[in-house]
Amino acid sequence: MALLQIAEPGQSPDPHKRKLAVGIDLGTTNSLVATVRSGESVTLPDEQGRHTLPSVVRYQASALPEVGYEAHARAVEDPHNTIQSVKRLMGRGIADVRKLGEQLPYHFERTDEGMPYLVTAAGSKSPVEVSADILRTLQRRAELSLGGELTGAVITVPAYFDDAQRQATKDAATLAGLKVLRLLSEPTAAAVAYGLDQSAEGVIAVYDLGGGTFDISILRLSKGVFEVLATGGDSALGGDDLDLALANWLIGELGLGQDLSAAEARYLTEQSRSIKERLTDASQVEVELSVAGAHKTLTVTRDTFGELIKQHVAHTIRACRRALKDAGVSADEVKDVVLVGGSTRVPQVREAVAQFFGRPPHIDIDPDRVVALGAALQADVLAGNKPDSDMLLLDVIPLSLGLETMGGLVEKLVHRNTAIPVAKAQEFTTFQDGQTAMAIHVLQGERELVDDCRSLARFVLRGIPPMAAGAAKIRVSFQVDADGLLSVAAQELSTGVQSSIQVKPSYGLSDGEIERMLKDSYSYAQEDLAMRNLREQQVEADRLLQSLEQAIAADGTELLAAAERERLEASMRELRSLRAGSDYKAIEAGVKALAQASDEFAARRMDAGIQRALRGHSVDEIEEGR
């Protein structure tokens, strides 16, 4: 989907050219984009020199959306069209959004299930589209600043984001025309920014309290490998909740009822945010408030605020305790504690974390920027700019994945904190004689009852041959990739019949919807779809040819017989001539054919890699034995 750099026809892309890759922190309150420049990770400012971009989008009837500071400035005046904290709506159903219990000023389309569409002056917008508008702004900023098209981006997500929230984030990138090199957990990104600076080894804890999400991750650092041992958190708890707690207190002190207008409610949460921020340095703050007919000067002390947010802070510490237990380490084994996210500036939060882990946390890198800086370091590696880098980030799945079984119970197939990528399969059988279809309901969460877990998708497996109850064998397999994204397949085994299944994401966009939005999207308005398809296939062909050339140069003599090599090179010549033409379907077929022809070679190279890894070890041991 992404638009990549293309060399002039007939010119092969220069493999030595540095690829433009960025790290993007798509935050609840603010977003940032960073890149590696002369070996150093830096955040990129806009034309006015501002590094952060408020994650706020304002839609207008007959103009392009405003994104960032100008949108934020209109938030109180135009609350219905100005979307803030959209990250909290990502991958959520309308019912979840209502359960968030927030005074959301937006008008939602009247639907009882599925995605919450926001009604704006520019039409209905899904949270994915709003996020895509933020991503586009960052992409433009990066391309202007770096002087070229981006090869790809690492986009960070809260470690505790479930599959639907991750998928929604990836869809937003697709809509914005960005190639996602990896969805990276925010705490892991922060650990990378710290780890590479200080060449740390050992167990570290990353406590990340952002605008709308909370994460705790326990990682082990060893020789450039960042291994997540366990992760925990709450993807619906953040600075917004601290503001809301204070706003509710203000409402009480002002003697106001709950029937405030959207603009009044937003005025109070904005005031609360400002009071909270001032309380970081001041022990008390005096504010003059004028809202809904009430005028009053109030004094808020740090202690009062601490009391109001006590429950929330205690909740985060409980999550820390559980993450340590899941990781199998004790608090005193944790060598370093890193704080991430603007909300960790709140003194009560800092104190609670320091007390729980028994050591002062690190705050040397700006907690607002550290995630983007770490993401940029990984983007640089993934784009292929640092072939000798030893850095590797190993992640886990934050929440268990399972299927609905009889009686509304959940059977877990993949447990939380399992290392990813992971593949698991389980067999199920039919409940009734002659049953020819089976409903498969995929869920994520820790609870035993379906109703207490998040519904990810529903499938119907059809075409099961009629048999006695319990005779059919249906194998359901789950695959989770390195981004933490799940794909599910089901197959009837006893007859060998493979039935296809259709995915209906519970709260996501279908591929069809994404395709439609892409076509509608203004960034493609002038662009011919066929042209875009052609460019995509050319990129894929170039990538395959280039990687095969490198592979043959490295291992061709050792791993390929002369005849095999001849066949492979013939297939490459074939693709090169198709690549020169303009038939994207022919190129697509050529890519597929070459991929097939080189499958065996790729597998042999992987095996050679395994042998090398093990051989390296036995050499060490022989030397140690001496």
Partner 1 sequence: MDIKQNYFEFYGLPEAYDLDLGQLADRHLELQKQLHPDRFAHLSDQERRLSAQYTAYLNEGYATLRSPLLRAQYLLKQRGIDTHNESSASIDPMFLMQQMELRERVEEAPSHADPDSELAALDQEVVAAMSEQQAAFRRAIGGTSEAELEAAAAAVRKMQFLDKLSREIERLEDELY
Active site (catalytic) residues: 25, 87, 186, 208
Partnered with residue 411 across adjacent β-strands are 403
Q: Name the DSSP letter for residue 484.
A: S
Least distance to partner 1, CB of residue 302, Å: 27
CB atoms within 10 A of CB 107: 14
Least distance to partner 1, CB of residue 254, Å: 35
Q: What share of the chain is helix, strand, coil (3-state, %, to 5)?
A: 40, 25, 35
Helix (H) or strand (E) holding 588: helix 584-597
CB atoms within 10 A of CB 256: 17
Least distance to partner 1, CB of residue 440, Å: 21
Spatial distance between the Cα atoms of 187 and 340, rounded to a whole number of angstroms: 7
Spatial distance between the Cα atoms of 338 and 367, rounded to a whole number of angstroms: 9
Least distance to partner 1, CB of residue 170, Å: 15
Q: Name the DSSP letter for residue 112.
A: S
- Strand, helix or coil for residue 560: coil
Spatial distance between the Cα atoms of 339 and 353, rounded to a whole number of angstroms: 9
Contact 423/478 with Cβ under 8 angstroms?
A: yes
Least distance to partner 1, CB of residue 297, Å: 40
Q: Residue 95 or 314: which CB sits closer to partner 1?
A: 314
CB atoms within 10 A of CB 367: 22
Interhelix angle 584-597/562-580, nearest 10 degrees: 170
Q: Residue 88 or 182: which CB sits closer to partner 1?
A: 182
Q: Residue 282 or 392: which CB sits closer to partner 1?
A: 392
Helices and strands, counts by H and E, the chain:
15, 27
Least distance to partner 1, CB of residue 190, Å: 18
Q: Residue 78 or 241: which CB sits closer to partner 1?
A: 241
Contact 271/256 with Cβ under 8 angstroms?
A: no
Q: Residue 296 or 321: which CB sits closer to partner 1?
A: 321
Q: Residue 290 or 355: which CB sits closer to partner 1?
A: 355
Q: Residue 495 or 611: which CB sits closer to partner 1?
A: 611
**Count of residues making up the chain:** 626
List residues near partner 1 by CB under 8 A.
19, 181-182, 222-223, 225, 227, 318, 321-322, 325, 378, 381-384, 390, 392-394, 418-424, 446, 479, 481-482, 540, 543-544, 547-548, 595, 598-599, 602-603, 606-607, 609-614, 616-618
Q: Which amino acid is at 432?
A: Q
What token pair was written down for 601? Answer: 């070679």
Least distance to partner 1, CB of residue 325, Å: 8
Spatial distance between the Cα atoms of 281 and 199, rounded to a whole number of angstroms: 32
